[in-house]
Amino acid sequence: MSGDNEKKIYRGRIKVPYKHTAGHYVQTFLEGIGKEDKILGVKCPKCGKIYVPPKMVCFECFEKMEEWKE
């Protein structure tokens, strides 16, 4: 069993093919963290709740959310 938890370092690129995207909301959220050093959420226009990570629809009001907040 010794050696099972050892760290392994791979120098180079690993190609990981995938068929699905994260979607607009998650992509915007992750780019905000990675490129702008900002945590972004979306605000419900009806109840005012802010969701982080962002969701397309408010779980309380079922309203579509498009207003981004930092």
Residue 9 pLDDT class (50, 70, 90 cuts): confident
- Across the range 2-14, mean pLDDT stands at 80
Q: Residue 67 pairs with which residues in a beta bridge?
A: 43
pLDDT at site 13:
87
The CA–CA distances, whole Å, from 41 to 11, 27, 56, 62 equal: 35, 12, 11, 16
pTM higher than 0.75 for the full model? Answer: no
The pLDDT tens digits of the residues spanning 13-62 come to 888 887 878 889 999 999 999 999 999 999 999 999 999 999 999 999 99
SS (H, E, C) the chain: CCCCCCCCCCCCCCCCCCCCCCCHHHHHHHHHHHHHCCCCEEECCCCCCEECCCCCECCCCCCECCEEEC
